[in-house]
Every structure is written in C-alpha cells, then in structure tokens.
C-alpha cells in the first residue's frame, strides 16, 4: 500500500480528539487492506509516525526518512509487520542536472525537497522485495512572499517551469537509484517504486521513471521479452479499472497521482491494483483547510493497494 496521509503532525491540545480520530481511521483502512508493507507520505514528525506504528500492533516496525523541507517538514516512511532491512535514503539530485533553479532570485537546489526512502521487506514466506517511496514536488505553485496565486501570467509561467523542472530532476534522481539497483545486486529481482509522484500515469516525469519505452500493460509487446526488461518499470495504474482507478480529486476531477511502479520480476505476478474507495474531498490550486468531520476521511488522498503472488 502507498498512502499520502495528509499532514500527520502532532496536534495542538485543542485538536487532540480530531488527531486521535484521524489516526484511528488511518489504522482502520490499513488493517482492512492487510498489506505487507505501507509506504507513507506527509508524515510530519517522529512522534506521530511512532503512534501510528504502535496502534497498528506490536509486531509492526517502521523506517522514517530524515530529509524534509524546513518550510514544511513532511517526510516519507515505511511501516510493515515484516522485517525492514537495508534502509537507505535518496537525497541528492543527479550531479549532471544540479543545481536546479527554483525561483526568480536565482535560488537553486541540489537535493530532493523530501528525501526518498528505500528498504528491503522480508515477507513471511522468506521473499525479499526492494522498495522505495518518494514524494515528488507538487504541481501546486508558490510565488515570492508566500503567495499561492498571481495576476502576472509571465510569473505564473516561470514558476510553473521551476516546479516542473524540480519534479523532473527529482524523478531523475529516483530513476538513477532504480538503474543502479537493477544493474547491481538487485538485477532481475523484485523491486518497486511508489508514492505520491504528483503527476498522472502518462506524464513526462513518470515516463522518466519507467525507463526504456514500450511493453507497458495493454501494449502489443507486454508479454514479449526484450532487452529493456532488465531496466524497465511497469505502472500498476495501467491495471486499474474504474471506479477505483484514481487517488485524488483535483478541482472536481479525479486523477491518479499516487503510483506503484514495478520491475519485471513483479510485473509477471501482479494480481490486483486498485485504490481504496474512501470519499476524499476535492482540492484546488490553493492549499486550504477543508471542513470535515474528525477522521472522515483521514486524508485527502485515497491509498493505492497492489497485490502480488510471490
């Protein structure tokens, strides 16, 4: 399962009841899905992460990334009832692409805003799967002075390019990790990349992550081996059927921006791919609090669940 759990932060004292309801609702959805591993995005602090882990049960362990943006300290993590080993963070942009300009004042970045986190999950039947979760740059634009809108269309275009360049560079960093893993010790092994990638299945940034073109599910070459299979990732979104094929509602329109991408070893044994049909609110181009009952729903994203017969 991969799930953006929407700003999981320790609450103010007067918000404790709402926070407890949110955590209980998160645990309920996870327990019903019974996944072997859960990739989380938008975890705000270690205390909230530990509380969620403990409420899932004593047999659940976890790993939490350390890299986050100072302006909004959300990060990614993993939870599982199985051992998680070989923990590694991906934080640096590819050297040949960085620094990446992100503002009119010339500010640049050399690292992912939110570090990606890789672990190896050992399931109960002694299978091992190498997994990475990421939370790429949002399509939401922010402008100088903390603004989320502008009447200057030239400024809007520039900051749209800055956001797209950053998200593409972050995707390239994740792809660099995939390439190294599938060319090294994990060659031919089961590997997946998942998380809130902040773009749809066929977007250019996601195409970067897929690697060699061709052979995606539904194409004529899907079941025909070729030289690209060793490095290719397959998008589980292509297996999904309506109505459970979207993860976020944006300005009234459903879209799939939370993804699971799998290596060749997993593409052959995928048995189910869907989103959990919770009734999430529609979000707009400006961040805002959406009034809703405590814990209903616990996030503005649907979780994505993908199952494999290993």
pLDDT score, position 292: 60
Which string of DSSP letters, residue by residue, matches 217-265?
A: TTSTTTTS--GGGGT--EEGGGG--TTS---EEETTEEE--EEEEE-HH
Alpha helices in 133-240 (DSSP H): 153-183, 204-210
167 vs 66: CA distance, rounded Å: 20
Angle, CA 135 vertex, CA 132 and CA 136 arms, to 5°: 115
Three-state secondary structure of 73-107: CCEEEEEECCCEEEEEEEEECCCCCCCEECCCCCC
3-state SS class at 55: helix
What pLDDT score does 122 carry? 92
Residue 173: partners with Cβ closer than 8 Å, 6 or more residues away: 90, 92, 93, 94, 112, 116
Torsion over CA: 162, 168, 170, 172 (sign): negative
Euclidean distance between CA atoms 249 and 283, whole angstroms: 6
Residue pair 41/74 in contact (Cβ under 8 Å)? The answer is yes
CB 2 within 8 A of CB 194: yes
Task: State the Cα–Cα distance between residues 263 and 235, nearest whole angstrom.
Answer: 9
| Residue the block writes with tokens 């669940």 | 305
pLDDT at 25: 96
What does the alpha-carbon distance between residue 243 and residue 218 come to, in Å, rounded to a whole number? Answer: 18
Distance CA 246, CA 77 (A): 22
pLDDT of residue 287: 54
Residue 152 DSSP SS3: coil
Q: What is the pLDDT along the chain (310 residues), one digit of tens a residue?
A: 999 999 999 999 999 999 999 999 999 999 999 999 999 999 999 999 999 999 999 999 999 999 998 888 999 999 999 999 999 999 999 999 999 999 999 999 999 999 999 999 998 777 899 999 999 999 888 899 989 899 999 999 999 999 999 999 999 999 999 999 999 999 999 999 999 999 999 999 999 999 999 899 989 899 999 999 999 999 999 999 999 999 999 889 999 999 999 999 999 899 999 999 999 988 876 555 455 666 689 999 999 999 999 8
Place of tokens 């009447």: 151
For residues 64 and 45, is the Cβ–Cβ distance under 8 A?
Answer: no
């Amino acid at each position: 399962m991969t799930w953006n759990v929407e700003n999981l932060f320790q609450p103010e004292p007067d918000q404790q009841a709402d926070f407890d309801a949110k955590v209980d609702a998160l645990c309920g959805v996870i327990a019903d899905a019974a996944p072997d591993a859960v990739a989380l995005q938008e975890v705000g602090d270690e205390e909230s992460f530990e509380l969620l882990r403990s409420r899932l049960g004593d047999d659940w362990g976890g790993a939490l990334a350390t890299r986050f943006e100072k302006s909004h300290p959300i990060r990614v993590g993993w939870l599982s009832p199985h051992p998680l080993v070989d923990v590694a963070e991906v934080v640096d942009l590819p050297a040949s692409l960085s620094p990446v300009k992100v503002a009119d004042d010339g500010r640049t970045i050399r690292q992912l805003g939110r570090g990606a986190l890789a672990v190896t999950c050992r399931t109960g039947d002694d299978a091992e799967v190498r997994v990475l979760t990421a939370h790429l740059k949002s399509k939401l634009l922010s402008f100088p002075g903390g603004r989320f809108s502008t009447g200057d269309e030239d400024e809007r275009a520039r900051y749209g390019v800055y956001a797209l360049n950053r998200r593409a560079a972050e995707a390239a960093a994740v792809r660099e990790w995939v390439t190294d893993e599938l060319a090294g010790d994990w060659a031919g092994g089961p590997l997946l990349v998942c998380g809130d990638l902040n773009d749809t299945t066929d977007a250019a940034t996601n195409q970067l992550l897929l690697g060699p073109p061709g052979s995606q599910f539904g194409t004529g070459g899907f079941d025909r081996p070729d030289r690209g299979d060793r490095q290719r990732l397959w998008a589980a979104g292509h297996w999904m059927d309506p109505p459970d094929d979207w993860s976020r509602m944006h300005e009234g329109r459903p879209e799939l921006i939370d993804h699971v991408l799998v290596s060749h070893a997993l593409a052959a044994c995928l048995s189910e791919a869907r989103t959990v049909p919770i009734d999430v609110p529609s979000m707009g181009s400006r961040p805002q609090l959406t009034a809703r009952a405590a814990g209903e729903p616990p996030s503005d994203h649907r979780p994505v669940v993908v199952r494999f017969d290993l």
